[in-house]
Amino acid sequence: MKLQLALDRLTRDECFRIVEETKESIDIIEVGTGVIKEYGMSIVREMRNRYPDHVILADMKTCDAGRHEAHQVFEAGADIATVMAFSAGQTITDTLRVANEAGKQIMIDLLEVHSKERIAEIEQLGVHLVSLHIGKDKQTEGDFDTELFSLIKEFDFEVAVAGGVNLDSLPLILQEKPDIIIVGSAITGSDQPKETAANMKKMMSDYRER
């Protein structure tokens, strides 16, 4: 089980400060969509150069021009790129092909996808990694609902989970045994991001050892 730090709605300096403080506890550094829109591929390259031992995920949220965007982000040094589940099948297969050629990964973001039929189609396209994701705006309606896991129970995916995960909601999420837990503002907005990340990582480790 891996801990992914999501960097979003932050300045460049804030991103690097928080990663530096939490690097011992996190496994994956996510350069968030807003950060990429502000700073482009240069911040992905810099993360790759500064943290060569971490997995770098670029949250591109690609929904078209998949081949081009996949080449763009992998050439910048990312290990994983995100593609939206509502994208055309051709877009998904194009990004998967580029990823396979580069020895990288595509994470399919299931944001606002509630149809098992669509998830079955995604599986048939050759997808292996998906993200169960409650968007930032929808998080105002309440904490992460673990009922979302029912969407992918019958499928053989590697599963990431994102959307308002914090120290309070983490124990319930751990019971679903996701492969990756994505945490943003609970760490980046904390007065003590190093301690918060370490506490989350310890909870994950303790759960695995049961």
Tokens of 115: 């149809």
Domain range for 168 is: 2-208
Closest CA to 95 of 124, 134, 135, 68: 68
What single string gives the DSSP state of each residue in the chain?
-EEEEEE-S--HHHHHHHHHHHTTT-SEEEE-HHHHHHHTHHHHHHHHHH-TTSEEEEEEEE-S-HHHHHHHHHHTT-SEEEEETTS-HHHHHHHHHHHHHHT-EEEEE-TT---HHHHHHHHHTT--EEEEE--TTGGGG-S--GGGGGGGTTS--EEEEESS--TTTHHHHHTT--SEEEE-HHHHTSS-HHHHHHHHHHHHHHHHT-
Give the mean model confidence (pLDDT) for residues 97-109. 98
Give the pLDDT score at 148: 84
Q: CATH code at 140?
A: 3.20.20.70
pLDDT at residue 133 above 90?
no
Give the pLDDT score at 172: 93
Closest CA to 105 of 131, 86, 134, 142: 131
Q: Taking a C-beta distance cutoff of 8 angstroms, is the pair 157, 129 a contact? A: yes
| 76 or 112, greater pLDDT | 76
**Residue 112 — left, alpha, or beta (φ > 0 → left; ψ -120 to 50 → alpha)?**
left
Number of domains in the chain: 1
Give the pLDDT score at 63: 98
| 80 or 147, greater pLDDT | 80
Give the mean model confidence (pLDDT) for residues 171-177. 94
Give the pLDDT score at 140: 43
Predicted model pTM: 0.94
Distances (CA, A) of 142 to 32, 115, 136, 152, 169: 22, 22, 11, 21, 11
